Each structure stands twice: as structure tokens, then as C-alpha cells.
Amino acid sequence: MIAIGCDHAGVEMKKAVIEALSAQGFEFKDLGTDGEPCDYPVIAEAVCKEVTSGGCEKGILICGTGIGMSMAANKIKGIRAALCADYFSAKYTRLHNDANVMCMGARTIGQGLACELAEVFLKTGFEGGRHQRRIDLITKLENE
């Protein structure tokens, strides 16, 4: 299960991602918004709590630029959120950073690219190895 949420700027992109990836067998827990104006930190918290509680494997957050969502998400203990706008970042944030939340900007990338980035993010595993040491250092920073 993938937690997904957006603010009012990302509604159409969120719908496109859900539609495209549901066709590939991914299941989503949609945590809003459906178009009503909202505060993106509230949505970020809801999605991230689903991830940290184990209710959902990963999360996707969408706002106008993706920046606000990524800033809010990274305040939540246990979240490694990455703002992605290109294939390389979406792939390598999973391979090397074990990101568990991807953020995107509905006003900065198109819906087709968003669907492709979400797919690569969700299908790419973590390499572990030398990268685990760095994840452990991030966790140490988070716990201090």
C-alpha cells in the first residue's frame, strides 16, 4: 500500500499517478486533498505517519513545487523524503538514500513525467552495502 497526498495544487497530478500506477497493481491510500484548499504540512504529516507506522510501505506527496511537502515531511522522525523532478533522482534516492517518501511539484513537472518518476521510485530497491552506513548516520542525526 502506498500513501499519497497533495495540496490543492496537486489534485490532478495525484489523480493521474493513482490511475497510472493502479493499472500496474499498486494500491493507494489517498489522504487528500480532493480539491479544497488545505495546508500542505497537514497532508505531509498524514502521509508520513502512514509510512512510519508501517500502514503503508512508501509515500508520495505533491504540492505546487514539491518543496513545501519535502520540508514538512523531513521534520517527521523516520522519514527520508526526496524532491524528485528527473529519472536519475527518483531512482538513486531509492538505491542510495533509501528514501521512503517522494515529493513532486505539480507546477514544475508534467503529469506524464510524474507517473514515470513515481513508478521508478516505487519499483527501485535500496542497494544497502556502503549506503547503509550513511543511512545510519542520518538516523543518528535525527535522534540527537
User: CA 60, CA 121: separation in Å to the nearest integer?
Assistant: 9
User: CA 41, CA 134: separation in Å to the nearest integer?
Assistant: 27
- Catalytic residues, by residue number, are 63, 96
Find, among 7, 1, 76, 15, the residue nearest to 39 by Cα.
Answer: 7
Cell of 11: 489534485
User: CA 26, CA 79: separation in Å to the nearest integer?
Assistant: 21
